[in-house]
Amino acid sequence: MKKKIGIVSLGCPKNLVDSEIMLGMLSHADYEIVNNKEDANVLIVNTCGFIESAQQESINTILEMADEKGHNCEVLIVTGCMAERYKEKILEQIPEVDAVLGTGNYKEIAEVINLAYMGEKTVAYGKLDETDYLDQERVISSAKQSVYLKISEGCDNRCTYCIIPFLRGKYRSRKMESLVREAELLAQKGAKEIIIVAQDSTRYGIDLYGKKMLPELIRNISDINGIEWIRLLYCYPEEINDELIEEIAKNPKVCKYLDIPIQHASDRVLKQMGRRGTICDIKQVLNKLREKVSGITIRTSLIVGFPGETEEDFEELIAFLKEYRLDRVGVFTYSKEDGTAAAKLKGQIPKRIKLNRQKKILELQNTISREINQDRNGKVFKTIVDGIADDGIFYYGRTYAEAPEIDGVIYFTSAEELSIGSFTNVKILNSEDYDLIGEVINEFTK
C-alpha cells in the first residue's frame, strides 16, 4: 500500500514552487499525494524564515503538524528556509520532527523519508550552489490556469536587513531552454498565465550569459501556444532597463503590471539598507514606466522602522507615496534578524513606533487604492475566471492589474455559465478599497 504524503507550504510563491517540486519527486517515488493532513502518513512543512512573524508561523505550523504524530501521521519532515537557518535546533526542540532538509537539499526528500521509516533522524543542509532540482517536474497544487515559474535561486543584492542570501546562496539563473520547456509543459496542462518569480527577476541571466536576459525569456515564453498572460514579480528598480520596459510596453502577452520592491524613499535609509539606487533613480524608473507603458499597475513593498529611521525619513516616504500614488503597497515593520548587518546598527526603533508608522502608511494607501479603483468604474477589462464565490452567485477573477493571492479580486455576475480558467470581458460597476464588483458583457472564452 502506498504511503500518503501531505505538504504545508508557507511563505512566498518561490517556496510554493519548491513544495511542488518535492511533490513531483515523491509522486515519482510511488507516494500518494493527499490534501488533508488527517489522511497523510508523511507530513512535510516547507517553512519560511525571512522575518520573525514568518518564523513564528512556521513554528506554530510545525507544532500543529506534530500533534498529528501518533494518529495517521508516521513521519514529520521540516524543509525550507527555517530548516536551513536553524538546522539541528529544530530536532532538538521539537522531538516529533524526524528530518530537517535545507533549501539546497530538496532532491534528498524521498531518501530522508525512507531513513525516517528506518528510525534514523536526518539533518541535511548547506547545498547552496545547485539549481538542477528546479528542472524536476512539479505537481501543481494551486490553480492550474495561473502558475509560477521560478527562474533563478539565491540573491547577490546583500541588503543589510535580509537573511535570504545566507539561506539560499548566491544568485543562480536557470538555463533558458529549461525554463521554456517548463513553460511549454505548464501550458499543455492548462496554464494561461505564467507568473515569473525570483528573488530578483531583473538580474536573470547575468551569471549564465553575461547579460540580463529577462526580455528574451519573456519573448520565448510569449511564443508558446496557450499562454495569454505573462506577469513579472520582484523586479528591482536599479535593474530595470530600457529593453525590459520596451518589452513590457510592446508585448501584448505581458501584463502591464510590475512588482518593484522599493523599500523606502529616504536616501539615507536606502543607503543604510544597502540598496544600490537612490530615490531619484527610483523616480526616474517609475516616470519612464508610466510614460512608456500605458495603464501600468505598479506594486511595491516598503519597510518602516528601519534602524535610525527618523520622523523626517518617514515623512519623506509619506510624501513620496502621496506624489506617486502607487497602485499596490505592502508595508512591513522592520524585523531584526540575527546574522544580518542591520541587526548590529544603532538606533533600533521601538515596536510601538514601527506599528504606528505602518498604520499611517496603510491608512494613506487605503485612500489612494480606493480612489484608483473608483477610476475603474464603468470600464471594461479582460478578466481571467479564477472560481465561483461561496455564495454561488458571483464568479471571481482578476484583470491584468491583480496578481493572484497578493492583490484584490473582481467579483462579477454572468448570464451564461463560465469555465474556470477562461477569459471574459467584465464591466466594473462598483469598487471597494481592494476588491471590485462587476458584470460580464459580450462573453467570450478562450
Co-location of 335 and 356 in the same domain: yes
Q: Check the annotation: does 73 bind a ligand.
A: no
Q: Domain check: are 269 and 307 in the same one? A: yes
The answer to whether 12 is a known ligand-binding residue is: yes
Q: Which residue type is seen at 52?
A: E
Q: Flag whether 445 is in a domain.
A: no
* Same domain as 391, residue 367: no
Task: Supply the CATH number for residue 395's domain.
Answer: 2.40.50.140
Question: Is 235 part of any known ligand binding site?
Answer: no
> Is pLDDT of 445 > 80?
no
Quote the CA–CA distance of 145 and 138 in Å, as a whole number.
15
In a domain, 131, yes or no: no
Could you tell me if residue 446 is inside a domain? no
Question: Do 72 and 109 fall within a single domain?
Answer: yes
Q: First and final CA of the chain: distance in angstroms?
A: 41
Do residues 431 and 371 share a domain? no
Mark whether 277 and 408 lie in a shared domain: no
Cell numbers at residue 423, please? 477569459
Q: Which of 340, 375, 410 is the last residue of a domain?
A: 375
Alpha helices in 143-301 (DSSP H): 164-168, 176-188, 206-209, 214-222, 242-250, 267-273, 279-292
The answer on 370 and 393 residing in a single domain is no
Residue at 189 is within a domain: yes
93 and 180 together in one domain: no
Q: Is 280 annotated as a binding residue?
A: no
The model's pLDDT over 326-341, given as tens digits with 9 standing for 90+, comes to 999 999 999 999 889 9
Instruction: Mark whether 204 and 245 lie in a shared domain.
Output: yes
The reply to whether 159 sits in an annotated binding site is yes
Angle between helices 311-324 and 351-374 (to 10 degrees): 10
Among the candidates 91, 124, 157, a domain finishes at 124
- Among 353, 375, 397, the domain boundary falls at 375
Phi, psi dihedral angles at 299 (to 5 degrees): -115, 145
**Does the global pTM surpass 0.85?**
yes
SS3 for 274? coil
Inside any domain, residue 130: no
Count of C-beta atoms within a 10 Å radius of residue 322:
11
Confidence of residue 446 (pLDDT cuts 50, 70, 90): very low
Report if residue 134 sits inside a domain.
no
Question: DSSP letter at 39?
Answer: G
- Residue 358 and residue 273 in one domain: yes
- What is the three-class DSSP state of 63? helix
pLDDT digits (tens, 9 = 90+) for 1-16: 789 999 999 988 999 9
| Grid cell at residue 185 | 509543459
Determine the residue type at 282: I
In a domain, 257, yes or no: yes
Distance CA 279, CA 316 (A): 10
C-alpha cell at 56: 513564528
What whole-number percentage of the chain has pLDDT above 90?
80
C-alpha cell read off for 430: 462598483
CATH number of the domain that residue 177 is part of: 3.80.30.20
> Are 146 and 207 part of one and the same domain?
yes
- Same domain, yes or no: 183 and 94: no
Sequence letter at residue 16? L
Mean pLDDT of the chain: 93
State the total domains in the chain: 3
Give the residue numbers spanning the domain of 235.
Answer: 142-375
239 to each of 166, 175, 200, 201, 225, how far by Cα in Å?
Answer: 22, 20, 9, 9, 29
